């Protein structure tokens, strides 16, 4: 059998291959195969080959060929980076939004002038990328020039992105390049007061992240056989969320994985909350919770919930902990994973959103709002192994409609949200297809893939 496209999503826990046919007509999802990601075996292509073997078994084909091959990956883990700006609530926060939206994991943030202590911290972290920002365009110059000089003394071979005051971009580039640094100059992430400009920086980070994922063992072989750019899985899922927003407008996607819980939203928020906002937020926002995962980080989630609390529902907790797997063997195992998933789901969303606060002024108490506003969200989409496949996923997803009652000061969805899931577990594939092949193809596949499960 010959396919139009074979797509591989190489995750931190599992590798999933999906077969597509008739991309130029009535798109058909032929089947899917899955296997553990084989980083520990020294070659991620072993996992792909085994997943293809599972696909052949499922569709009853001994021989399988394809016209095109595409892939996304998060198998090398997040792109560790540090962010350095002028004022935390302005340029540092804008730079942070750009980094998270591109799939990076921020390990260290500084605001103001750097010194030897900060350099030592960077050395300890060993980031793969440094983002330097600071100052609105044609505003304060001294701090960012000072920080460029400090970073020029860093004896690590780490690329540096400069996304600060345009008036000193050439000077910063000269300082850093003169010390042998690899430098990327882009537009200011905070060019004017209350104006975010994160996309140019986000795009550079995505390119560097794409180079970074080749570090997973065996990824160099995949680059030899793919017909398109390899995308980061988080970036591809964000692209699908943006595609969904073209159809449904205000949307929210939750991706609960083995290592992280990622939350993507595309919304301007409600008019009511926007009038209370004290700082701007990007329309498309991604957050990644590196401590909320169902397998690699299950122990973190168990500790956050509390073993005593879990034992009330699961008296044999010690035994269940030894059987944690993306492929639960018993119904009790799946119920336990669902309990962890509910915590990841609710905490992931709550960390993503902003809040309303009371402040006291000479004229009395006032309400302000800060952070991402999800009060206008009308559609929720679940993806990832658990949310796409588990029979307990609907009850986890439906908990969104009670969350605002439990946390009234959080900027959570206020009205009843329509709930869907990525039933074939292909949001990453759709993101790559819509970017590399054709956006309309991506939308056609979405029509077949998303499954409404209530509200």
Give bridge partners of residue 383 from the DSSP assignment.
255
| pLDDT at residue 455, as a whole number | 66
Q: Which domain holds residue 417?
A: 231-454
Q: Which of 149, 180, 211 lies at the terminal end of a domain, its last residue?
A: 211
Q: What is the pLDDT of residues 280-324, one digit of tens each?
A: 888 999 888 878 899 988 998 999 999 999 999 999 999 999 999
Q: What is the pLDDT of residues 391-426, one digit of tens each?
A: 999 999 999 999 999 999 999 998 889 999 999 999
Sorted by sequence, the CB contacts under 8 Å of residue 41 that are 6+ apart come out as 47
Please report, in angstroms and rounded to a whole number, the separation of the first and last CA atoms in the chain: 40
Ranges 68-72, 120-124, 206-210, 331-335: which has the least confidence:
206-210
Q: What is the pLDDT of residues 428-449, one digit of tens each?
A: 999 999 999 999 999 999 989 9
Strand 104-111 versus strand 79-85 pairing type: parallel
- One domain for residues 235 and 221: no
Please determine, for residue 75, whether its predicted confidence score (pLDDT) is greater than 70.
no
CATH code of the domain containing 327: 3.30.420
Give bridge partners of residue 382 from the DSSP assignment.
254, 421
- One domain for residues 117 and 63: no
Q: What is the pLDDT of residues 127-182, one digit of tens each?
A: 989 999 999 999 999 999 999 999 999 999 999 999 999 999 999 999 999 999 99
Q: Name the residue among 91, 30, 94, 21 with its Cα closest to residue 56.
A: 30
Q: How many domains does the chain contain in total?
A: 3
Cα 16 from Cα 72, distance rounded (Å): 10
- One domain for residues 184 and 310: no
DSSP track, 190-230: S-BTTB---HHHHHHHHHHHHHHGGGSTTHHHHHHH-SSPP
Tally the residues of the chain.
455
Q: Which of 203, 225, 247 lies at the terminal end of a domain, its last residue?
A: 225
- One domain for residues 245 and 344: yes
Q: Quick one: tokens of 303?
A: 């500790």
């Amino acid at each position: 059998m010959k396919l139009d496209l074979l797509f591989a999503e190489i995750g931190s826990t599992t590798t999933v291959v999906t077969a597509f046919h008739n991309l130029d007509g009535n798109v058909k999802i032929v089947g899917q195969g899955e296997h553990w990601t084989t980083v520990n075996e020294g070659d991620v292509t072993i996992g792909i080959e085994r997943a293809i073997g599972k696909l052949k078994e499922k569709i009853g084909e001994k021989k399988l060929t394809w016209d095109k091959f595409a892939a996304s990956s998060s198998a090398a883990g997040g792109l560790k980076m540090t962010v350095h700006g002028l004022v935390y609530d302005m340029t540092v926060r804008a730079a942070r939004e750009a980094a998270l939206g591109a799939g990076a994991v921020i390990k260290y943030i500084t605001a103001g002038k750097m010194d030897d202590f900060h350099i030592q911290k960077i050395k300890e972290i060993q980031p793969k990328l440094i983002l330097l920002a600071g100052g609105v365009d044609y505003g304060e110059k001294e701090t960012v020039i000072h920080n460029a000089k400090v970073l020029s003394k860093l004896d690590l071979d780490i690329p540096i992105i400069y996304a600060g005051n345009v008036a000193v971009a050439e000077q910063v580039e000269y300082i850093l390049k003169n010390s042998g640094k690899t430098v990327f100059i882009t537009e200011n992430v905070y060019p004017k007061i209350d104006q975010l400009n994160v996309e140019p920086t986000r795009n550079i980070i995505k390119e560097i992240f794409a180079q970074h994922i080749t570090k997973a063992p065996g990824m160099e072989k995949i680059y030899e056989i793919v017909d398109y750019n390899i995308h980061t899985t988080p970036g591809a899922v964000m692209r699908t969320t943006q595609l969904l927003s073209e159809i449904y407008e205000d949307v929210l996607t939750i991706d609960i994985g083995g290592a992280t819980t990622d939350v993507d939203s595309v919304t301007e928020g409600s008019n009511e909350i926007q009038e209370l906002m004290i700082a701007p937020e990007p329309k498309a926002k991604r957050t990644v919770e590196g401590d909320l995962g169902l397998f690699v980080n299950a122990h973190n989630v168990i500790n956050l919930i509390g073993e005593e609390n879990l034992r009330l529902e699961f008296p044999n907790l010690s035994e269940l902990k030894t059987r944690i797997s993306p492929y639960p063997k018993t119904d009790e195992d799946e119920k336990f994973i669902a309990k962890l998933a509910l915590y990841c789901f609710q905490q992931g969303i709550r960390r993503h959103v902003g809040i309303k606060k009371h402040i006291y002024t000479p004229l009395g108490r006032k309400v302000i709002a800060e952070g991402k506003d999800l009060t206008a969200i009308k559609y929720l989409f679940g993806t990832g192994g658990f949310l796409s496949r588990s029979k307990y996923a609907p009850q986890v997803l439906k908990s969104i409609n009670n969350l605002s009652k439990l946390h009234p000061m959080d900027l959570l969805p206020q009205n009843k949200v329509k709930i869907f899931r990525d039933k074939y577990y292909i949001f990453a594939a759709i993101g790559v297809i819509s970017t590399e092949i054709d956006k309309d193809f991506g939308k056609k596949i979405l029509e077949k893939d998303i499954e409404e499960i209530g509200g």
